[in-house]
Structure 1
Amino acid sequence: MSSAAAPPAGARPRVLMLSPYFPPAEQGGGSVQAVLNLTRHLRDDFEFVVATRDHDLRGTQPFSAASQHAARQATGLDIHYLAGGMSGARQLHSLLRQPFDLVYLHSLMAPDLGLWPLLCRRWLAAAHGPLLVAPRGELMPGALAQRSRAKRVYLALLRGTGLLRGVQFHATGSDEAQAIQAALGGSAPPHVAADLPPPQLPATETDDAPRRPGPLRVLFLSRIDPVKNLGFALKVVSGMSCEIEFDIAGPIGNDQVWADCQGLMRALPAHIRTRYLGAVAHAEVAPMMAAHDVFFLPTLGENHGYVVAEALAAGCPVLLSDRTPWRGLQSAGVGADLPLDDVLAFQRVLATQAAMSNDERREQRARCRTYAQQRLTADASVAAMRELLTRLAQPNARIVSTSAGQSGGR
């Protein structure tokens, strides 16, 4: 990747960010924080314009005018909240007719903010610069395994109709880069640049008081859908002999998955107690993490895992599958990342956590906070993302050179 200087003050490239969810949305998952953090770090280098849905995940009502205004004030961004249906499609079509140096999609699968912009791009090819797509984990194997046939047909149609011709892709790590190439075919690699952490880690109160006696406090905090794999977590705890309080928090993204999980919860032995806490506002995440002994997320695949970073920053050790970028947790002494075919390994970790002394637990929580600070140092990641967007937003980037091996088009 060649070096590119940041644009001079007063000549910021204009970048249109299309994200299914953005503040005041609270339940849209890690992609909300990914886009928000990017704009926070790079707002002095680029003029960001954001287009997003006018409601939260599974929300039935649009955001109020007051909450939209508050989000614009808090972020300092020009945010366009799109209505559903044809009204929103017309809004986005009108917005795409404006000149932008780069159009940056944060979904490939969303019909309104993935497919529709690709169609508009075909019709308005001369109206804007290059198009960059960050699939945000949508092309990871675990995600593609859900409704697999429909997704494979959709991707084949995108390729076959030429809608991906000249489109470039952003992966947040080598695993996602491989997944994108496997899903889309061809050999041209995506751009790889890590997602950016918050400019400041969330502040949490350090509690060095001895832990109260009682059950191991385990937290699952994520959207309830097949990829997050809550059912596996319930099966793991069902075989534990120690007392466990298992709290489940997050929006219900799939009704059938939640119904299946409720059945598993009803069958748990008496010494395993569960609570569903519902969807959680982002401001409540850090204190909730700090109040638990283990954060448990046996996900089928994550391209980043912002919630993992939030857990560690709050001093909460994590128990994960080995399908996230968060690896080597055992050697760091901050948790474990394990294969999903080894249920006993997950149970051994929970048993070890339950048997810890107060001193051991206090030392582990301090390691988690230190690890989060070190892992989330942003300087190199910010520089890499700035360089990528600057290079793509240059006028000569409007003609994509496939010989450079950077085009995602097929």
Structure 2
Amino acid sequence: MEKKKILIFIDWFLPGYNAGGQIPSVANIIKYNKDLYDFHVITSDTDLGAKSSYPDIESDKWIKKYGATIYYADLETLSAKKMKSLIHFVSPDLVYFNSLFSIKFTLIPLVISKYHLKIKEIVLAPRGMLGTGALQLKAFKKRSFISLTKSLGLFNDVIWHASSEIEKKEIESNFKELKEVRVALDIPNVPSELNLLQKIEKEKDSLKVFFISRISPKKNLLFAIKILSKIKPLYDITFTIIGPVEDKLYWKSCELEISKLPKNIKVEYLGVLESHKINQYLTFNQHVFLFPTFSENFGHVIAESMFSGCPVILSDNTPWRNLENSNAGWDFSLNEEGKFVEKIEYFASITQEDFNIFAKGAFAFGKEFCLNPSVLGANRMLFE
């Protein structure tokens, strides 16, 4: 029996990693379903923020890689006419988009697929772009776009992919005319076990805290720095920032606040870590993930942290909730600054023995959250 042909559009894909969770989300959909579906991917030939194309990958040519047939497009020559030709060449049964606001990898190919090539099955994953925090950034531009697309009925007959029940509600609150919303949790890369003997030593009254994400207003690094400025002098904190600088002006604001931190708070900017190195680095070098994000539809970095035995202190703007009951960490409203401070100080104060309880709790919570048997089935059903 011939496999159903799925054409995926995504702004950035493997071997890239700067764009965060959307890359492993799509890569793992392909990995766990390649025996059932024939996947084609159209993506850019550069990573997010990169100035040159991927080495050893030929642009503007279909190649077989990562379980799919992939076209790495040179953005300078990717016209609407060429896009139409590429979609026509694949002749997909279903088209799957991974952005709401991308012009080249959602809007143009969506219009071509829907109105010119009359493709009936279209699935759209907004990837957290409809979260309240996300919509507050460039709010007028985004709200204008949503109003325009609603008036045109552009998304009326697409199937929406929500990565959580929270995101489903966000979709439904912004788009009333809906065909269907399917909830399928993202699939991260899950290690088989946690070796506590590998964990970095936890000394009393000291703590290694990290922030790993793109450096942009949505991820709220400034709030994390503000929290650290209120830690009592009794505790020695090392704060490591990991991730690409997406917004240079925002990063300058962060650097200014970092320069004002007290002496007991030491800060280092590590830059970008390749995705396959994250687990090992966090396991051997870090204790606690501080992530006061404005909005996450899933949060691959949260999963990575837990799989590395690092408990988390999060905002309540993610699907990772009720962490305290499992000794995996805490989630708080951004209005509760004092609670963020309190829990960092608590982690700093505890001994190795007590910290190990949280390391085990985080790993167990992350694994149970991500490897529920229903997760793979839900992702498979996106294309049925």
TM-score w.r.t. the length of structure 1 is 0.87
The aligned counterpart of 1:5 is none
1:277-288 alignment to 2 at 5 Å?
277-288=270-281
Query: 2:161 is matched with which residue: 149, 153, 170?
Result: 170
In structure 1, C-alpha distance between the alignment counterparts of 2:39 and 2:237, rounded to whole Å: 46
Asked if structure 1 preserves the Cα contact closer than 8 Å seen for 2:7 and 2:39, the reply is yes
Does structure 1 residue 382 correspond to structure 2 residue 376?
yes
User: Once the 2 structures are TM-superposed, how far is the Cα of residue 380 of structure 1 from its aligned partner?
Assistant: 1.2
| Paired letter, 2:318 | T
| C-alpha RMSD over aligned residues | 2.1
In structure 2, C-alpha distance between the alignment counterparts of 1:209 and 1:273, rounded to whole Å: 18
Query: 1:31 is matched with which residue: 3, 15, 22?
Result: 22
Indicate the SS of the match to 1:97: helix
The aligned counterpart of 1:118 is 110
In structure 2, C-alpha distance between the alignment counterparts of 1:309 and 1:367, rounded to whole Å: 13
Asked if structure 1 preserves the Cα contact closer than 8 Å seen for 2:59 and 2:71, the reply is no
Does structure 1 residue 132 correspond to structure 2 residue 123?
yes
The aligned counterpart of 2:213 is 222
Query: 2:317 is matched with which residue: 323, 326, 347?
Result: 323
The aligned counterpart of 2:94 is 102
Indicate the SS of the match to 1:29: coil
Q: Which structure: greater strand fraction?
A: 2
User: Once the 2 structures are TM-superposed, how far is the Cα of residue 203 of structure 1 from its aligned partner?
Assistant: 6.8
The aligned counterpart of 1:403 is none
Q: Deviations over 1:181-204 (max 9, x none)?
A: 222234655122222233x42776
Q: Deviations over 1:307-361 (max 9, x none)?
A: 1111101100111000100001111111100110011000010011001111111
Q: Deviations over 1:41-92 (max 9, x none)?
A: 11111101011111011111111234889x9665131011111134354442
Asked if structure 1 preserves the Cα contact closer than 8 Å seen for 2:156 and 2:178, the reply is no
Query: 1:201 is matched with which residue: 191, 213, 222?
Result: 191
Asked if structure 2 preserves the Cα contact closer than 8 Å seen for 1:24 and 1:67, the reply is no
Asked if structure 2 preserves the Cα contact closer than 8 Å seen for 1:181 and 1:188, the reply is no
Structure 2: stretches of 5+ with no match in the other structure: none
Indicate the SS of the match to 1:275: strand
342-351 or 210-219, which moves further after superposition? Answer: 210-219
Distance 1:73 1:119, change over 3 A: closer
Query: 2:226 is matched with which residue: 226, 235, 238?
Result: 235
Distance 1:157 1:374, change over 3 A: same
Structure 1: stretches of 5+ with no match in the other structure: 1-9, 391-410
Asked if structure 1 preserves the Cα contact closer than 8 Å seen for 2:191 and 2:307, the reply is yes
In structure 2, C-alpha distance between the alignment counterparts of 1:366 and 1:147, rounded to whole Å: 40
TM-score w.r.t. the length of structure 2 is 0.93
1:222-371 alignment to 2 at 5 Å?
222-241=213-232, 242-290=235-283, 291-371=285-365
Asked if structure 2 preserves the Cα contact closer than 8 Å seen for 1:222 and 1:249, the reply is yes
Q: Deviations over 1:117-169 (max 9, x none)?
A: 1221344243x331110000011111111000001111112122232232221
The aligned counterpart of 1:402 is none
| Paired letter, 1:201 | P
In structure 2, C-alpha distance between the alignment counterparts of 1:12 and 1:73, rounded to whole Å: 16
Asked if structure 1 preserves the Cα contact closer than 8 Å seen for 2:96 and 2:124, the reply is yes
In structure 2, C-alpha distance between the alignment counterparts of 1:187 and 1:18, rounded to whole Å: 21
The aligned counterpart of 2:174 is 183
Indicate the SS of the match to 1:190: strand
Asked if structure 2 preserves the Cα contact closer than 8 Å seen for 1:204 and 1:287, the reply is no
Asked if structure 1 preserves the Cα contact closer than 8 Å seen for 2:202 and 2:352, the reply is yes
Asked if structure 1 preserves the Cα contact closer than 8 Å seen for 2:9 and 2:42, the reply is yes
Distance 1:305 1:249, change over 3 A: same
User: Once the 2 structures are TM-superposed, how far is the Cα of residue 230 of structure 1 from its aligned partner?
Assistant: 0.2
The aligned counterpart of 2:34 is 43
In structure 2, C-alpha distance between the alignment counterparts of 1:360 and 1:147, rounded to whole Å: 43
The aligned counterpart of 1:401 is none
The aligned counterpart of 1:93 is 84
| Paired letter, 1:341 | N
User: Once the 2 structures are TM-superposed, how far is the Cα of residue 100 of structure 1 from its aligned partner?
Assistant: 0.8
Asked if structure 2 preserves the Cα contact closer than 8 Å seen for 1:334 and 1:364, the reply is yes
75-84 or 361-370, which moves further after superposition? Answer: 361-370
Indicate the SS of the match to 2:78: helix
In structure 2, C-alpha distance between the alignment counterparts of 1:14 and 1:51, rounded to whole Å: 13
In structure 1, C-alpha distance between the alignment counterparts of 2:194 and 2:334, rounded to whole Å: 31
